[in-house]
């Protein structure tokens, strides 16, 4: 017989958003179960060696991996209310029974029936097509971070980075911290997508950032031993100029897309929003979806920074606890929203604000 458990609030994902949601909900007295597919909690935070930007409320100036510790300490204060299952992957949601199925490790299966659910499943990396992109040595940027910053394993000797957004720039710098050479960063767009401060750091260390360039093909028989890169014109067509790069790793930092399968299974109204980088759930200001028992927070609601994910997690945790009739400090709701608005202010927040405007609902039709 498959083991079955119940809980007040199931939090799917133990990263920046999920841990914040769990901390908030458990402090109101809700019994919270956090399910995490990785072997440990912390999500992307545990891989970040740089100091965060944003605002002091979201730990600006603190290195990412230390923020994970702060959140874990906060959860520990209410540990009697929090059950954590790591190495556990939600495999499906059965809407007719309100039942989740999950796999612990590779062989053990369980069922979880929560009263309320917060989906904080984060994101997955995008892949771009080029010949030989399937053979070993072509790695996702998140995977490279896990290998070197969590387990201390060097990913290779010489890396070609694809993408000059914040992730491509930050991971290039992290590779150099780990003693790995970065051959070049290639970027198809005519300008660097990430913050200038990250780009400047790797330029100072002599790494070329090749704008209007892309990868033509990866080279190698059984494993990667090089790449051919090509120059692009202003219509993204190859100019014919090509160059061979010696490398044993090609790191893809070409964007993320929200992980939302569970929200779709739960019947939440979804919409494709380019500014949020994929299909996301419509939501109200409490981060509740069109399914009244489901909330969502973090990158699963649209690709944004970890700072915003943590505030969204707070809002979802607070409001899911409130829906159970638990006493919550309701002035916190307005405070969290002012923090979120602050993080999304100005020119850098323009894209996110446009995306969020497309999915925010004042009320749900019955």
Partner 1 sequence: MDLIKEHPVLDVGYFKRHARVEFTFDGKHMEGYEGQPIAMALHANGVRVYRETPDMKRTRGFFCAIGKCSSCFMAVDGTPNVRTCVTPLEAGMRVETQRGKGRVAINPPAGE
Q: Write out the two tokens for 257.
A: 């897309």
| Of 21-29, 149-157, 287-295, 300-308: span binding partner 1 (CB under 8 A) | 149-157
User: Angle 34-43-158 (CA atoms, 0-180°, nearest 5)?
Assistant: 155
| C-beta atoms surrounding 156 within 10 Å | 21
Q: Is residue 154 a contact point for partner 1 (CB under 8 A)?
A: yes
Q: Alpha-carbon distance 354 to 349, whole Å?
A: 9
For partner 1, the closer CB: 68 or 320 = 68
| Of 16-24, 71-79, 131-139, 358-366: span binding partner 1 (CB under 8 A) | 131-139
For partner 1, the closer CB: 52 or 139 = 139
Exposed e or buried b per residue across 39-75, where buried means at least 16 C-beta atoms within 10 angstroms of its C-beta: eebbbbbbbbbbebebeebbbeeeebbebbeebbebb
Q: Alpha-carbon distance 124 to 298, whole Å?
A: 13
Binding to partner 1 in span 58-117, by CB under 8 A: 63, 65, 87, 89, 105-106
DSSP symbols for 284-300:
-TT-B-SSTTEEE-GGG
DSSP symbols for 12-64:
E--SHHHHHHHHHHHHTT--EEEE-SSSSS-GGGGG--SBP-S-GGGTTTSBH
Q: Which of 57, 74, 125, 293 binds partner 1 (CB under 8 A)?
A: 125
For residue 337, what is the enclosing H or E element?
helix 331-343
* Size of interface with partner 1, in residues (CB under 8 A): 37
* Least gap, CB of 135 to partner 1 (angstroms): 5
Binding to partner 1 in span 205-264, by CB under 8 A: 222-223
| Of 175-183, 286-294, 304-312, 322-330: span binding partner 1 (CB under 8 A) | 175-183
* Least gap, CB of 45 to partner 1 (angstroms): 13
Q: Is residue 179 a contact point for partner 1 (CB under 8 A)?
A: yes
Q: Which of 70, 95, 128, 153 binds partner 1 (CB under 8 A)?
A: 153
For partner 1, the closer CB: 223 or 241 = 223
For partner 1, the closer CB: 106 or 234 = 106
* Least gap, CB of 230 to partner 1 (angstroms): 24
DSSP symbols for 221-282:
SSS--EEEEEEE-TTS-EEEEEEEE--SEEEE-S-EEE--HHHHHTT--EEEEGGGTEEEE-
For partner 1, the closer CB: 251 or 319 = 251
* Least gap, CB of 49 to partner 1 (angstroms): 4
| Of 20-28, 134-142, 294-302, 355-363: span binding partner 1 (CB under 8 A) | 134-142
For partner 1, the closer CB: 26 or 146 = 146
If we measure between CA atoms, which residue out of 38, 37, 34, 16 comes closest to residue 25? 34
| Of 91-99, 138-146, 192-200, 229-237: span binding partner 1 (CB under 8 A) | 138-146
For partner 1, the closer CB: 37 or 286 = 37
Strand, helix or coil for residue 358 = helix
213-219 sheet: strands from edge to edge: 213-219, 226-232, 238-245
- Residue 84 · residue 69 · CB < 8 Å: no
For partner 1, the binding residues (CB under 8 A) are: 37-40, 49, 63, 65, 87, 89, 105-106, 124-125, 134-140, 142-143, 146-155, 177-179, 222-223
């Amino acid at each position: 017989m498959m083991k079955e458990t119940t809980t007040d609030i199931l939090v799917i994902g133990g990263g920046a958003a999920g841990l914040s949601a769990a901390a908030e909900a458990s402090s109101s007295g809700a019994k919270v179960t956090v399910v995490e597919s990785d072997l440990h909690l912390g999500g992307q935070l545990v891989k970040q060696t740089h100091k965060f930007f944003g605002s002091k409320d979201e730990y600006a100036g603190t290195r990412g991996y230390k923020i994970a510790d702060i959140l874990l300490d906060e959860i520990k204060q209410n540990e009697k209310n929090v059950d954590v299952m790591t190495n556990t992957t939600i495999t499906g949601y059965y809407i007719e029974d309100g039942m989740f199925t999950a796999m612990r490790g590779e062989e053990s299966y369980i069922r979880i029936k929560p009263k309320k659910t917060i989906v904080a499943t984060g994101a997955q990396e995008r892949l771009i097509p080029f010949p030989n992109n399937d053979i070993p040595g072509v790695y996702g940027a998140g995977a490279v971070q896990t290998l070197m910053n969590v387990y201390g394993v060097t990913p290779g000797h010489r890396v070609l980075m694809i993408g000059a957004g914040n992730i491509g720039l930050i991971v290039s710098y992290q590779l150099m911290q780990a003693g790995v050479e970065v051959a070049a960063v290639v970027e198809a767009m005519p300008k660097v997508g990430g913050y200038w401060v990250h780009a400047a750091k790797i330029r100072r260390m002599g790494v070329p950032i090749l704008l209007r360039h892309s990868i033509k093909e990866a080279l190698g028989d059984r494993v990667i031993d090089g790449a051919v890169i090509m120059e692009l014109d202003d219509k993204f067509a190859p100019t014919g100029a090509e160059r061979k790069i010696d490398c044993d790793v090609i790191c893809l930092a070409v964007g993320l897309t929200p992980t939302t399968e569970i929200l779709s299974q739960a019947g939440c109204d979804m919409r494709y929003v380019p500014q949020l980088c994929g299909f996301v759930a419509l939501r109200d200001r409490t981060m509740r979806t069109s399914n009244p028992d489901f909330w969502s927070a973090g990158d699963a609601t649209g690709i944004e920074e970890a700072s915003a994910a943590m505030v969204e997690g707070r809002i979802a945790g607070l409001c899911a606890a409130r829906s159970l009739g638990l006493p919550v400090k309701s002035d916190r709701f307005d405070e969290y929203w002012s923090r979120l608005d602050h993080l999304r202010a100005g020119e850098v927040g323009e894209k996110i604000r446009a995306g969020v405007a497309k999915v925010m609902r004042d009320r749900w039709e019955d």
